[in-house]
Structure 1
Amino acid sequence: MSDLVALLLTPFLAACLFVGMHTWLGLQVLRRKVVFADLALAQLSALGGTIAVAVGHPPGSLGGFGYAFALTLFGAGVLTLTRRVSAQVGQEAVIGIVYVVATAVAILVVDRSPQGAEHVKRMLVGDILTVSVPDLLKLLLIYGLVGLSHALFYRQLLTTAANSAVLPGRKSTMLWDFLFYATFGLVVTSSVALAGVLLVFSFLIIPAVIGFLFSTKITVALGLGWSAGVVASLLGFTASVTFDLPTGATMVVTFAGTLLVAAILKVLFFAAPTSKRLNRWRLAVASGITILVAVFAQGMWLMIHPAGDQPLLAFVEDKMGLGPELFLSEAERRVFHEAYQTERHHRAEVERLGQLERDARWRGQMLREDELRRASSFQQTYNEMGRGERFVQDHLRALARRRGRWIVGIPITALSSLGLYLLYCAWRPNFAAGRSQTLVET
């Protein structure tokens, strides 16, 4: 356990740094209504890193950082200068063009580079677990300088952000815009190399959105965003370690889940008193409609194509332990259960071998090459045998579903249709009351 804590401590501290700086920048991005500016600048940074690798600079080197920051600084200039045309075409259109062009050029560069696909994957999802103490110190230095500059000029930056759509032609506005985008680009360049484009975007936008959900005051929103971001990061690291998942992608999902929970809490408990009851009713009805539509679609799909994938039916069978036995003969049931038990045994062996390798890696005791090759060979063998047993199960399950397609499909389709009709009847008067209430409040 202590080894695991030691391994994750530095990456978690880096995530807290990301949350601290990116949430502040994200609040300004939301005030400027240029949400995807981060993606555009991050993609320019990734393009710079890709060009650096293509010309011979190793990943993470000072030369690679220089290329990435130079292109990001160029993007900051483009976003600043194009404010004059934003009134006609919108700033998001310019940002979208910058992102698309940067992505296309990166693909062209990668096409001529060795191990280009691996480099693109790293730029997208990063590898935050590889953050070291020197990386953490560099982040502290860069973020400290950026934070100091924003602290000195925060009134000008916030005023410019709030009035960016009103003051398109003033030189002072362009100066503060460039300062914001340049420091923003510096932060993005330093973080994309460690965390990847997707996770950096999550650090920037999601905590800021959570903060603005509950308050428009910048200080309150900043505190809420910091708290939500740290909690989401902790949940992401925990889920990644528990289920052995890619850390970057897992953290993006936990950030999204945190935003969903925050939105539900806002609607149910922090809305206007007159709206809370109606919001809870709406959420309950929307959840019921979602479930009933899924059940209706499953019933129709079972009747139309019983041998195809039946995700909802398979989930219910797995959780309730039903299986396809009801529509199989005694001999077919025996074969199905034998294949199921054998496949479970093979899957357990594959998991056991994988766990041995993971435990050795966490302890810092790497397996020898012959041990890795032997474990890999056993895993491949067990996977192939398990695939054969799953084929038998799938064949018998499809046979059972063809036999019971009408017996199961018609009732669940009819019951879900009845449920949707009853929900519609119950929803109409409440919807009308809610609409009248909204008009009165307006």
Structure 2
Amino acid sequence: MNLDLLFDPLFRVPFFTGLLLAALLPILGLYLRLRGEWLAALGYAHIAGAGGVLAPLVGVPIIAGALGGGALVALAKGLLRRKGNDTYALFILIGWSVMLLGAAYSHHAQLIGQALIDGQLYFIGSQHLLTALVLGGLVVFGLPFLSRLLLREHLFPWHDRANGRPVRLQSVAFDLLAAVTIGLAATAMGVMAAFAVLFVPAWIAFALAPGWRWALLLAATMSIVAYLLGFVAAVLFDLPFGPALVAVLVLFTPLRLLVRPPAGRV
């Protein structure tokens, strides 16, 4: 076990990229759970994986293929005005089949597909970090505005429509933000790790937090702690990052299963 590896410059960009995504994903996961669309995490992650595998086959960067694929299906979902997990179940099937068929087409695509499954965070570059910073800015400055709409739509679903306020554009904007962020996380952490980071902390916080702001804080804190533990374990014991992170997140699940949720939570 070599502790010096944790401070190796080679891991700086991957570490901070993953740390930023670990803070962003559970926040988006809470809003997806609020909308009853928690399966979006796995749906968008599979679509991003398929886009990443197909990208080199058509001569575009992997990150562009992953983010572009997620953005396209988010727009399609918005135009079709489809809600609920059934749409994302279809995305999972499409993404899974395209990812494996694309990986079978060439050895290079096969290596990319395996990396998306393993979640080898250490090999990502500055493009991921810069994109994560841009998405972080969009979440910080854009989500507070979208948050009011999303919360009002959940608590008073006919309020905006009754007052003649269009909500479709804001809803599509959130779908795009979620899809692109999940797509970036899938190429950095791996498909299943991105799903776990978005799903598990939000799942626990949604049940245990006494209010919405506490839920946001609890989910982000839990995700960051799990990320730090997973990163350290993966580097020190030479493990694939994705499975290590998912294993740590699974250790948090007794909080949801054993602790009684507080009464009167919103």
TM range (shorter): 0.7 to 0.9
Who is 1:141 aligned against?
134
2:57 paired residue number = 54
Equivalents in 2 of 1:168, 1:198: separation in Å? 37
What residue in structure 1 maps to residue 8 of structure 2? 6
Structure 1 residue matching 2:95: 3-state secondary structure: helix
Separation of aligned partners in 2, 1:131 and 1:216: 38
* Post-superposition offset of 1:10: 4.1
1:39 to partner: Cα distance: 1.4
| CA RMSD of superposed structures (Å) | 2.8
Q: In structure 2, what residue type is equivalent to 1:36?
A: L
Instruction: Give, in angstroms, the shift of residue 237 of structure 1.
Output: 2.2
How far is the alpha carbon of 1:179 from its aligned partner? 0.8
The counterpart of 2:45, out of the listed 42, 47, 72, is: 42
The alignment status of 1:24 with 2:18, answered yes or no, reads no
Q: Tell me the secondary structure at the aligned position of residue 8 of structure 2.
A: helix
**Post-superposition shift, 1:229?**
1.1
- Structure 2: give runs of 5+ residues left out of the alignment: none
Q: Report what 2:204 is aligned to.
A: 210
Are 1:125 and 2:118 an aligned pair?
yes
Q: Does 1:15 align with 2:18?
A: yes
Name stretches of at least 5 consecutive residues in structure 1 with no aligned partner: 273-442
Tell me what 1:176 maps to: 170
1:68 to 2:61 alignment: no
Instruction: Work out the CA distance in 1 between the residues paired with 2:125 and 2:66.
Output: 20
Find the aligned partners of 1:165 and 1:39 in 2 and give their Cα distance.
29
- Compute the TM-score of the two structures, normalised by the length of structure 2: 0.84
Aligned to 2:151: 158
Is the Cα contact below 8 Å between 1:27 and 1:218 reproduced in 2? no
- The answer to whether the aligner puts 1:237 opposite 2:231 as a matched pair is yes
Deviation at 1:176, TM superposition (A): 2.0
Deviation, 1:204, is 0.8
Give the match for residue 256 of structure 2.
Answer: 263
CA apart distance, 1:241 = 3.5
Residues 230-261 of structure 1 show CA distances to partners (whole Å, capped at 9, x for unaligned) of 2211221233244332221111110111222x
- Counterpart code for 2:34: R
Q: 2: CA distance between counterparts of 1:146 and 1:30?
A: 17
Output the CA distance in 2 between the equivalents of 1:259 and 1:226: 15
Residue 97 of structure 2 is aligned with which of 88, 93, 104?
104
Q: 1:10 to 1:112 in 2, by over 3 A?
A: closer
Pair 1:221-2:215 in alignment:
yes
C-alpha change, 1:40 and 1:163, in structure 2 (3 Å) is: farther
Q: Deviations over 1:202-249 (max 9, x none)?
A: 111111122123125221011111221122112212332443322211
Higher relative contact order by CA 8 Å / sep ≥ 6: 1 or 2? 2
CA separation in 1, counterparts of 2:161 and 2:78?
A: 10
Deviation at 1:38, TM superposition (A): 1.6
* Letter of the structure 2 residue corresponding to residue 201 of structure 1: F
* Counterpart contact for 2:50–2:66, Cα < 8 Å: yes
Sort the Cα spacing of 1:6 and 1:161 in 2 relative to 1 into closer, same or farther, 3 A. Answer: farther
- Contact 2:47–2:70, Cα closer than 8 Å, also in 1: yes
Percent identity of the aligned residues? Answer: 24
Cα 1:241–1:105 change in 2 (3 A) is closer
Do the aligned residues in 2 keep the contact of 1:157 with 1:180 (CA within 8 Å)?
A: no
Identify the residue that residue 358 of structure 1 maps to in structure 2: none
2:241 maps to 1:253 = no
TM-score, scaled to structure 1? 0.53
> Counterpart of 2:172 in structure 1: which amino acid?
F
Q: Is the 8 A contact 2:44 2:179 kept in 1?
A: yes
Q: Distance in 2 between matches of 1:223 and 1:159?
A: 20
Higher Cα Rg: structure 1 or 2?
Answer: 1
Richer in helix (by share): 1
- With over 3 angstroms needed to count, the CA separation of the structure-2 counterparts of 1:166 and 1:51, relative to structure 1, is farther
Looking at structure 1, the residues matched to 210 and 20 of structure 2 have their Cα atoms a distance apart, in angstroms, of: 23
Distance, in Å, in 1 between the alignment partners of 2:213 and 2:138 is: 20
CA distance in 1, matches of 2:81, 2:159: 11
Conservation of the 8 A alpha-carbon contact between 1:16 and 1:230: yes
Q: CA deviation at 1:157?
A: 3.0
Query: Secondary structure of 1:115's match?
Result: helix
Contact 1:28 1:161 (C-alpha < 8 Å) held by counterparts = no
Local SS of the residue matching 2:139: helix
Which shows bigger deviation, 161-170 or 20-29?
161-170
